Amino acid sequence: MDVVDSLYDQHQFLMQQFLSLPFALLFYFLAKHGYLTLIYRYLFVCVGGCVLAVVTMGIYSLLLFASTFVFILLVYSNGPTSIHAWVFGIQMWWQTFWHLIIQYSEYYLHEPVSIRLFQAVSCLMLITQRMTSFSMDLQEKLLVVPGNAWPQGKSWLSLLPLVSYILNFTTLLGGPLCSYSQFVSFIAGVSPAPNPLVIDSLKVMLVLLLEWFKYCLVYVMKNSPYDPSNSGIIWSITWVCSLGVVLRIQYYSHWRISECLNNAAGLGVRANLSVERPNWSSNSDGDFWTIETSSRISKVARQWNATTSSWLRRLVYARCRAAPLFMTFAFSAWWHGLHPGHLVGFLAWAAAVKADHHIHRYTHPRLSSTWTKGLYTCFSWINTQMILTCVVVAVEFRDMSGLRLLSVTYLGLFPLLNIILLFIFTLKNYVLRSPFEHL
């Protein structure tokens, strides 16, 4: 199948981040030994980000530079109370415009879209996270607009930390989201960080192991392809589940190499050597073992791409009064590009999370023995794996082909069952209310 063939083309994104590792280690070495002053540290990560953008995205790197330029103008021309609305509105409009350009080329013109454009829009999504995180900090008075930290006559330098935060080469192509204040404190105090070479080597080995396992799984799938006319139900579900594992491994590898790149520069580590060993995963997007062994889809939703989940909770969930859960997942579909697979996948995920809360609240108090609790955990884990597979396939395929694959293999029955259970629980709660609450 074409989708299996395309899985071999995903390594270039990992390679681009892997090739950035020596520069991150160079930054750590120069900063630790005092060869970089504070200004030159900001210049290093900023210029590194600009060069990386031009090399990987070509002409489409202008999307990022234009967005950064407009963001700086907004920050220095608006007050703390209004800045977030302007940043959010303009950045989402700019990002959505390019998502629609991609959809127009794919669905209307039926033309292939440049991989550089895909990567530029993907980086634009990450920049949206950092910009809105900064604007929310200003709105909530967690920080002030940088401007007085430099001597008179060098006021232009006040722009440098903010531009470096947006275009930081360690997080430009992917990586866990950190706040502006965390970034500034990291740049100022990078020298006390412990040597990252050993931990980075271990994380690179883990990425290679994941990629080797993915390669073996893809090889088996290619030599035993799924045939809708001849394959049985069990093999169909097994094949699609294997595809879901392959797609999830891509996420795990990207998260780990992004975390590794940040660690190489000294970011994402909490070092208190007098008390305990350094925590090199203090700023991480997720751990594959934790996610794969989870038996509740609601916990997976919080652990999957963890820093993005926290950003969505702060940006949408905490600010919505009506149906915050569904609004959060709907916004996530918008942020990802509003493809048909995104809409169906994220809304089905939201329904499954809501159903999981109801099922756990209803079932858990009624489990009296260890055997019944173990059986419930087993069935819950299977349901979580099936839901996660459906969501990943729908989102990664983007168009209707992923939804058709889920329907013909009957795997789509799992999210449908969760939606039915959610409807039953919602109807039951409505009926049990006091008659006066309906008025």
| pLDDT digit string, tens, across residues 101-113 | 999 998 888 888 8
Contact 390/415 with Cβ under 8 angstroms?
A: yes
Q: Which residue has the tokens 């139900």?
A: 233
Q: Are residues 49 and 166 in the same domain?
A: yes
Output the pLDDT for position 278.
62
DSSP β-bridge partners for residue 279: 270
Q: Are residues 84 and 164 in the same domain?
A: yes
Contacts 24+ apart (CB under 8 A), 48-52: 48/20, 48/23, 48/168, 48/169, 49/164, 49/167, 49/168, 49/169, 49/172, 50/167, 51/169, 52/16, 52/20, 52/169, 52/172, 52/173
The conformational region for residue 305 under phi > 0 = left, psi -120 to 50 = alpha, else beta, is: left
The conformational region for residue 110 under phi > 0 = left, psi -120 to 50 = alpha, else beta, is: left
Q: Which residue has the tokens 């509105």?
A: 89
Instruction: Tell me which of 166, 188, 210 is where a domain ends.
Output: 188
Contact 27/45 with Cβ under 8 angstroms?
A: yes
The amino acid at 181: S
Q: Are residues 160 and 245 in the same domain?
A: no
In a domain, 21, yes or no: no
In a domain, 300, yes or no: yes
Q: Are residues 245 and 170 in the same domain?
A: no
User: How far is 238 from 242, CA to CA, in rounded Å?
Assistant: 6
Output the pLDDT for position 150.
45
φ/ψ of residue 215, rounded to 5: -60, -45
In a domain, 2, yes or no: no
Q: Are residues 254 and 379 in the same domain?
A: yes
φ/ψ of residue 227, rounded to 5: -120, 110
Angstrom distances, CA of residue 189 to CA of 41, 176, 181, 269, 437: 11, 19, 12, 12, 56
Q: Are residues 299 and 378 in the same domain?
A: yes
What's the Rg (C-alpha) of the chain? Answer: 23
DSSP β-bridge partners for residue 270: 279
Count other C-beta atoms under 10 Å from residue 411's C-beta.
22
In a domain, 408, yes or no: yes
Residue 312's contacts (CB-CB under 8 Å, 6 or more residues apart) are 328, 331, 332
The answer to whether residue 336 is catalytic is yes
Output the pLDDT for position 45.
93
Number of domains, the chain: 2
In a domain, 17, yes or no: no
Residues of the chain with pLDDT under 50: 1, 3-5, 7-8, 148-153, 272-275, 434-439
Q: Are residues 137 and 201 in the same domain?
A: no
Q: Which domain holds residue 116?
A: 35-188
Residue 136's nearest CA partner among 179, 96, 171 is: 179
In a domain, 26, yes or no: no
Token pair in block for residue 33: 């030994």
Instruction: Tell me which of 188, 205, 233 is where a domain ends.
Output: 188
Residue 17's nearest CA partner among 171, 185, 126 is: 171
| 8-state DSSP, 389 | H
Contact 327/347 with Cβ under 8 angstroms?
A: no
Q: Are residues 146 and 280 in the same domain?
A: no
Active-site position among 254, 336, 339, 342: 336
Output the pLDDT for position 435.
47
Q: Are residues 162 and 211 in the same domain?
A: no
Q: Are residues 245 and 147 in the same domain?
A: no
Q: Are residues 90 and 201 in the same domain?
A: no
Residue 139's nearest CA partner among 73, 70, 83, 76 is: 83
The answer to whether residue 110 is catalytic is no
Burial 82-110, CB ≥16 within 10 A → b, else e: ebbebbbebbeebbeebbeebbeeeeeee
Angstrom distances, CA of residue 270 to CA of 110, 263, 267, 300, 308: 49, 11, 9, 25, 20
Angstrom distances, CA of residue 256 to CA of 14, 149, 259: 10, 34, 5
Residue 307's contacts (CB-CB under 8 Å, 6 or more residues apart) are 176, 177, 178, 283, 284, 285
In a domain, 203, yes or no: yes
Output the pLDDT for position 415.
85
In a domain, 296, yes or no: yes
Active-site position among 283, 305, 383, 418: 305
Q: Are residues 155 and 250 in the same domain?
A: no
Instruction: Tell me which of 164, 188, 212 is where a domain ends.
Output: 188
Q: Which helix (H) or strand (E) holds 113?
A: none
| 8-state DSSP, 276 | S
Output the pLDDT for position 274.
42
